[in-house]
Amino acid sequence: MLNPFLLMAAFYLIVAIIAAADAALTSFTLLPWFAGLPWLRVHFITLGVFTEAAFGVLPAYVAARRGAATPATRWDIWLMLNAGLVVLLAGVPSINAGLIIAGGTLVFIAVTLLILQLRSLGLGHSEGAGSLKFYVAGLIYLLVGILVGTGLWVGWSEPLRIGVPKEVHIHANSWGFASLVFAGLLIDLLPALTGAALASRRTLTLIFWTMTLGALGLVLGPWLGGNLYVTVPGLVLHIGATVWLLVALVQALQRHGLFASAGAWHLVVSYTWILLPVLVAPLIILGVSGIPGADIEATAPQALIYGWMLQFFYAVTPYFMARWLLRDAHARLGGNWLSFITVNLGAIFIWVSIFLVDLRSPIHAVAYGLLVISLAAAAWETGAIVRDALRRVELRAGQAA
Ligand code: HEM
């Protein structure tokens, strides 16, 4: 049986190429009529690639921890998530409140059902420092992110008393959902790649609590109108946990000689793009001259999504596809040197475009041109695995008929 969530993740990886190409062409003013789709560009990756892939592999990982077989596809969850996504893809760019609420609600229900599925899969099993709590906490942050995101353009922020709603949405999804789920995935991935745990139980439990509490501060801060007494401790805790996780990751990859491949570099270097905004944040808060705070806030999320989330998935998506579509027990991290160089150069150019105001459009265009190349390189590898898996299924179906 093919994992339909992973097939959708591969599909949206390819769709994301078109959205990045649109950004390159509109910046060169070759396609002026097609401008204004930044929501789609970001969410093809965050919802289309990341959320789909998470739905595809989390139940399998939680079951595997108990020594149980991969659970059967939950088609009810698949339908909710994908129907919600399609409705949002139509509703958000056209700012249609009915469609936004319908789409947000469907995705919210899908995430709730996934949490319940993961809880029941993990039931009766002493989880210790395993990944389940990272996944459940991450998905709870996603529920908050969905609630705030759905309400962003339909007027819910006032009754919910959210001070800076867009920031709450980004923080809940990036520092809550993505950070925690990525950490859980690394915990599950490393033993398969290296034969050893990522870190000791104690270390992972401490990382979990530091990261989860840090994310809480980062969500509550902007919710309370930019309260620095809440945001700053959150930031310090979250960054501390991320650096701790990274040190453990680098040591584990190094011990097993995995830095010979681009995949390991993708994983580690992707974190540069979440740490960089954090290093710049104090300069914005202090109003240091020459630091264009508003421009950074408008542009940095794009570098975060492409540089961090997408780059992380360049390494893990081909691995997931090989493991769960081809049933390859010796699957390796994906990505190659071309995707590695172009995705990081693309993210560098997005940041450079913030500071070189006069050259912003051409630099932006070059950045997205590089990102298109990186996406194409990654989608080629992923697409080849998916094609082989589909051929196998078709062959088997043909033989059975
Ligand atoms: C039901 C799900 C979701 C809905 C309804 C939603 C809605 C929105 C809306 C309305 C915006 C504001 C766009 C603007 O003001 O320009 C936005 C921005 C954003 N969202 Fe979401 N979102 C959802 C899921 C996610 C997820 C899962 C992630 C990340 C994992 C995410 C990350 C972001 C980011 C980074 C931005 C800022 C983009 C930028 O400023 O360039 N969203 N979202």
Q: Which atom of ligand 1 is nearest to the CA of 39?
A: 13
Q: Which atom of ligand 1 is nearest to the CA of 142?
A: 27
Distance 170 CA to ligand 1 centre (A): 7
301 lines ligand 1 (CB under 6 A): yes
Distance 233 CA to ligand 1 centre (A): 24
Q: Specify whether domain 4-400 bears CATH 1.20.210.10.
A: yes
Distance 79 CA to ligand 1 centre (A): 21
Q: Which atom of ligand 1 is nearest to the CA of 50?
A: 30
For 315-339, how does the pLDDT look when each residue is reduced to its tens digit (9 = 90+)?
Answer: 999 999 999 888 888 899 999 999 9
Distance 11 CA to ligand 1 centre (A): 20
The protein residue with its alpha carbon nearest to ligand 1, atom 19, reads: 170
The protein residue with its alpha carbon nearest to ligand 1, atom 24, reads: 146
Question: Which of 21, 2, 3 lies closest to 379, judged by CA?
Answer: 21
| pLDDT score recorded for residue 66 | 81
Of 12, 37, 40, 42, the one to substitute when testing ligand 1's pocket (max ligand atoms within 8 A of C-beta) is: 42
170 lines ligand 1 (CB under 6 A): yes
**Whole-model pTM?**
0.94
The tokens describing 125, both together, are 């099993």
145 lines ligand 1 (CB under 6 A): yes
Distance 68 CA to ligand 1 centre (A): 35
Question: How many C-beta atoms surround the C-beta of residue 225 within 10 A?
Answer: 10
For 158-211, how does the pLDDT look when each residue is reduced to its tens digit (9 = 90+)?
Answer: 999 999 999 999 999 999 999 999 999 999 999 999 999 999 999 999 999 999
Distance of alpha carbon 383 from alpha carbon 180, whole angstroms: 27
179 lines ligand 1 (CB under 6 A): no
Q: Determine the Cα angle at 11 with ends 5 and 15, to 5°.
A: 140
Question: How many C-beta atoms surround the C-beta of residue 102 within 10 A?
Answer: 17
Q: Where are the domains of the chain?
A: 4-400
For 242-265, how does the pLDDT look when each residue is reduced to its tens digit (9 = 90+)?
Answer: 999 999 999 999 999 999 999 999
Kindly give the confidence (pLDDT) of every residue in the chain, 401 residues in length, as a single tens digit, with 9 standing for 90 and above.
689 999 999 999 999 998 888 888 777 665 544 444 788 889 999 999 999 999 999 999 999 888 888 899 999 999 999 999 999 999 988 889 999 999 999 999 999 999 999 999 987 666 544 899 999 999 999 999 999 999 998 999 999 999 999 999 999 999 999 999 999 999 999 999 999 999 999 999 999 999 999 999 999 999 999 888 999 999 999 999 999 999 999 999 999 999 999 999 999 999 999 998 878 877 777 777 777 878 888 888 999 999 999 999 999 999 999 998 888 888 999 999 999 999 999 999 999 998 888 888 899 899 999 999 999 999 999 999 999 999 998 898 888 87
88 lines ligand 1 (CB under 6 A): yes
